[in-house]
Amino acid sequence: MITGIGDNPKASFRVTHGKGSRQIGLRWFRFNLVGGLGVAVQLAVLLGLKSGFHLSYLPATALAVEVAVLHNFFWHERFTWRDRGSRGLSQRAARLWRFHVANGLVSLAGNTALIYLLVHQLKMPALPSAVAAIALCSPLNFLLADRWVYRQAPAYACPLKIFSNRRLTSAR
């Protein structure tokens, strides 16, 4: 849903939180575009750490995942959820913490469990299983990011506004 917000021509309309299928579809597209780039970043870092620095798989994977998470967070801040801009460093740090928690719970645990199920139980090949796990975890990652990581702060009324209430001012 699009609502007007004052006379400022630069901010005359905004997309309200979670409303309108067109806006959600565009955000879903952006989310997946950033995620796809994140997969490429993760694989490139993993390859570089393995080939260039001869790191073993476990630390190389952990570092590659962290670089991809930071990459995705950076681009979600500036591209996917740019309309929900942060109000300073503390809000951005809180979002980064929530992003890590959401990604950790869904991406790491979800992908690990799904790959175990698909590869070990259903005997599917590893690469298609990884792609399927990413696709299956993506909607929950999006939902957590949209509703929790990048949630809009509630609009609080100014505490001084009570003094403009007619009942209070006319009672004097």
Both tokens assigned to 79: 């591209």
CA separation (Å) from 13 to 6, 21, 143? Answer: 8, 17, 24
Digit-coded pLDDT (tens) for 77-108: 999 999 988 778 999 999 999 999 998 788 88
Under 8 Å CB-to-CB from 87, ≥6 apart: which residues?
A: 153
**pLDDT-derived band of residue 13, with 50, 70 and 90 as boundaries?**
very low
- Alpha-carbon torsion, ordered 57, 58, 62, 68, to 10 deg: 20
Percent of the chain with pLDDT over 90: 45
